Amino acid sequence: MRHPILHVTLTAVIAAAVACAGQQPAPSTGTAACEGTRVLTVRNSTRGVLEVYSAARNGANKVLLGEVQPGVTTFQLTTANGPEFIAQRTGTSTIVAATPGVTQVRLRNNAIAFSVTCRR
């Protein structure tokens, strides 16, 4: 003999699991709303000076943020700055590293790290 409450509860659990199956959270773009100042921190573990740019998702519309020496450098970002970042050798067009959204660049250099935070 089936217990009616157990049957309803089990059916509800199965229905909820089926409804949620295949649903995944939206990927994080790192551009969550910031009520303070967005800051880019660049860790340069290479021996050279690099130019850092912000860019659109496809790497277009590059805007020079400045140069980074070996070590850690921060830049204040504005709403005009794109969500992606590119580091290239100073005075050249040689890209050393870029964030994953810069699709035409395959190079990911572990000696360069980009991190965007919100400061209040």
- pLDDT (tens digit per residue) in 24-61: 333 333 456 788 999 999 999 999 999 999 998 877 88
Task: Please report whether residue 80 resides in a domain.
Answer: yes
The total domain count for the chain is 1
Q: Which two tokens stand for residue 18?
A: 């089926």
- pLDDT (tens digit per residue) in 59-98: 788 999 999 999 999 999 998 898 999 999 998 888 899 9
Task: Please report whether residue 56 resides in a domain.
Answer: yes
* Residue 53: strand pairing partners: 64, 86
Domain that holds residue 98: 37-119
Largest CA distance in the chain: 81
Instruction: Give the global pTM.
Output: 0.69
What's the gap between Cα 18 and its chain centre? 31
Task: Please report whether residue 44 resides in a domain.
Answer: yes
| Residue 33 · residue 16 · CB < 8 Å | no
